[in-house]
Copies of this chain bind each other. A is one copy, B any other.
């Protein structure tokens, strides 16, 4: 078995791909080889990694030979096209796209919430949507103590959620507006600089957009609570990186603020950030580049006897995408230990 893994990143030149490379460079993941894959358009670029210069290769038939682990972040259709081939070639794929998330055969994993699910894979493990990951990390520790009955969440999602080009567009637009010029959008459907708009994912039946239904359906799957009542309003805001969320929770029983703070102050992946005197709470500029989800403004909901309000900011590209995927890989690598790598085999493993 490989004590150290031959890793391929599919979508290596995107915002999440770039973050994956950065995380693999600095974290302690046992990596023996890194292969950078992207569309033919991006092939040939060189990217520094651990003192070497790696050349981005075009994804192509046979490219997953001699790869143990694929970290995919190139969109749903690319994942659908290439990951079955990667699994066929013997690799395990951790997929950042939405392609496989709701597939009952595919585990959907937030390591702080349902790490055990990661081992029950058949070659593909799905990484949840960014807003879902951030919320799950923040509220699951409370849900473990007292069951959540209903969630009403409003999001404040940065440009990074639409990729590196949307981040560039936000900056270009902001400069145009400051110059008194028009801000013409091309990546996003409407100008984002000094503006905001409901999330631009396609609208599904009932008027919820896909992003909102991801929060609903993925949270239910990760929590293993198929009936959990959740409603979401997802909004794109002119922030470069890091999402924020205003979350209203209704529990089965009253849940005190003090108890919630006690739980969240030691919860994995959470930093409780509250300074009531200086009105200092989580904000994107502080979450940017951090591994943890910043949680604060925990309030007893004055509109409901069993309600609790909380606020969070978390790095959408890092914990909301790349870091969560790498943490899943780390789970698998730790589990495989010195034995014959069961968690990186492509057959389902029961713990």
Contact = CB atoms under 8 A, between A and B. Distances in A.
Interface string A88-104: 00000000000000000
Contacts of A171: 178
A311 interface: yes
B285 A190 contact: yes
Interface in A193-224: 193-198, 200-203, 206-209, 216
A253 to B, nearest CB: 18
A238 interface: yes
B283 A190 contact: yes
Interface string A299-343: 111111001010100000000000000000000000000000000
A82 interface: no
Question: Which of the four size classes fits the interface of chain A?
Answer: 35 or more
Contact of A208 (B178, B231, B302): B302
A284 interface: yes
A209 B246 contact: no
A62 interface: no
Interface in A261-284: 276, 278-281, 283-284
B233 A309 contact: yes
A303 B208 CA distance: 12
Contacts of A244: 196, 235
Nearest to A190: B283
A4 interface: no
Contact of A300 (B202, B207, B297, B304): B207
Contacts of A230: 302-303
Contacts of A202: 279
Nearest to A278: B189
A91 to B, nearest CB: 37
Contact of A156 (B156, B281, B307): B156
Given A231-B304, A233-B248, 20 more contacts: A151-B303, A152-B152, A152-B248, A152-B303, A170-B194, A174-B174, A190-B283, A194-B284, A195-B285, A198-B297, A206-B302, A207-B276, A207-B297, A207-B300, A231-B309, A233-B309, A235-B246, A237-B237, A237-B238, A238-B239
A-B pairs, top 6 by smallest CB distance, nearest first, are A154-B154, A229-B303, A231-B303, A207-B299, A233-B246, A154-B246
22 contacts: A150-B303, A154-B246, A171-B178, A175-B175, A175-B178, A189-B278, A189-B279, A195-B239, A195-B283, A195-B284, A195-B285, A196-B237, A197-B283, A203-B276, A207-B299, A229-B304, A230-B302, A231-B248, A231-B301, A231-B304, A233-B246, A235-B246
Interface of A: 150-152, 154, 156, 170-171, 174-175, 178, 189-191, 193-198, 200-203, 206-209, 216, 229-231, 233, 235, 237-240, 244, 246, 248, 257, 276, 278-281, 283-285, 297-304, 307, 309, 311
